[in-house]
């Protein structure tokens, strides 16, 4: 079977660091071209990746030698260019969040379905084998009945000019790091989560978006959920599932290096065990899943729509409170 011929809309850091090398290394994909509105940036990125440079996103979508596109643009541009790609007959792997509006996400899902095209959101951690193992341990009763889930993802402060601090481009902690703990809650507890409360804190001048936030939720059976996210923190990437008989903890949960054997800590009465699992490459696994979806033209996974609704509830339910400035 011929490799899936892929183009990339944009030269974002995640594309250059992770996705372009992965597309080149994966046998079922072939990187054809990368596009940018800046022709020099396109040429530099394409030279590093060993593919063609294209000036302009529409120009890349017009090519007939590309089957699918990866869209790593700022969040506020996702809806426009994912839609354009689908209308051009391309399968789409869109960076997370697919859009910042659940209605728009649903419209794109419908467009992909009626067009027979694959549409996927690039939340890579769900493709790492460690989480399937944690879910198996939970289902096998290793910690009894789930009572509480906590998930956190935050990164250190970025330079003030970083696009993740630009509200016009869909910046902010919720859309950037908040997706991960929200998706973890959906992964382990399902879609029927009630939002009890949320808080988002805005940045100082130079960072006019939410730089941190928390959300408190519960399941219909009463399982509590606490989520935290941020762009101004010591690095944290973890979740904990607390049961009636034990606790499971996963560190480096959302962005583990491909060569790192993950550790899952299982704590029970009079027992603490670190389960060392085989290393796994979630970037490669994501491409494998996307390639399979493209070949089958399968619909958007329902969890992406559930995630969009939950993110919107957190966003609208917690207006960001600005941090005090030195003058206040």
Residues labelled catalytic: 96
CB neighbourhood size of 316 (10 A): 10
Q: Which residue has tokens 């550790």?
A: 263
C-alpha of 317 from chain center: 21
CA atoms in the 13 A half-sphere facing the CB of 25: 12
- Which pairs from 72-75 meet CB under 8 Å and 24+ separation? 72/8, 72/9, 72/10, 72/12, 72/14, 72/15, 72/19, 72/122, 73/9, 73/10, 73/12, 74/163, 74/166, 74/169, 74/170, 74/171, 75/99, 75/100, 75/169, 75/170, 75/171, 75/175, 75/176
Contacts of 280 (CB under 8 A, 6+ apart): 128, 129, 130, 256, 258, 262
CB neighbourhood size of 97 (10 A): 27
DSSP 3: P
Q: Taking a C-beta distance cutoff of 8 angstroms, is the pair 33, 23 a contact? A: no
Phi then psi for 76, rounded to 5 degrees?
-65, -15
Q: Taking a C-beta distance cutoff of 8 angstroms, is the pair 49, 29 a contact? A: no
Phi then psi for 9, rounded to 5 degrees?
-95, 95
Tokens of 157: 């402060």
β-bridge mates for residue 4, sequence order:
29
């Amino acid at each position: 079977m011929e490799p899936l011929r892929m183009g990339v809309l944009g030269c974002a850091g995640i594309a250059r660091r992770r996705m372009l090398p992965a597309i080149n290394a994966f046998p079922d994909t072939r990187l054809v071209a990368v596009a940018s509105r800046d022709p020099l940036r396109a040429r530099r990125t394409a030279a590093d990746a060993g593919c063609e440079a294209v000036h302009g996103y529409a120009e890349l979508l017009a090519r007939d030698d590309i089957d699918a596109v990866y869209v790593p643009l700022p969040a506020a541009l996702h809806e426009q260019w994912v839609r354009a790609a689908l209308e051009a007959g391309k399968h789409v792997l869109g960076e997370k969040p697919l859009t910042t509006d659940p209605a728009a996400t649903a419209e794109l899902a419908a467009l992909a379905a009626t067009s027979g095209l694959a549409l996927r959101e690039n939340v890579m951690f769900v493709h790492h084998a460690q989480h399937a193992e944690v879910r198996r341990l939970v289902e096998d009763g290793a910690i009894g009945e789930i009572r509480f889930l906590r998930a956190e993802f935050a990164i250190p402060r970025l330079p003030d000019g970083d696009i993740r601090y630009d509200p016009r481009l869909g910046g902010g902690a919720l859309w950037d790091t908040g997706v991960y703990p929200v998706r973890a809650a959906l992964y382990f507890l399902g879609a029927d989560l009630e939002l009890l409360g949320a808080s988002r804190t805005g940045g100082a001048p130079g960072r006019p978006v939410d730089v941190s936030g928390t959300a408190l939720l519960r399941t219909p059976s009463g399982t509590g959920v606490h989520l935290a996210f941020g762009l101004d923190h010591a690095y944290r990437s973890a979740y904990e599932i607390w049961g009636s008989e034990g606790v499971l903890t996963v560190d480096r949960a959302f962005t583990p290096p491909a060569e790192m054997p993950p550790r899952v800590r299982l704590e029970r009465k009079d027992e603490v065990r670190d389960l060392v699992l085989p290393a796994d490459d979630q970037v490669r696994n994501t491409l494998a899943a996307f390639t399979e979806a493209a070949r089958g033209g399968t619909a958007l996974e329902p969890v992406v729509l559930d995630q969009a609704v939950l993110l919107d509830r957190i966003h609208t339910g917690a207006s960001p409170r600005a941090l005090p400035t030195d003058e206040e």
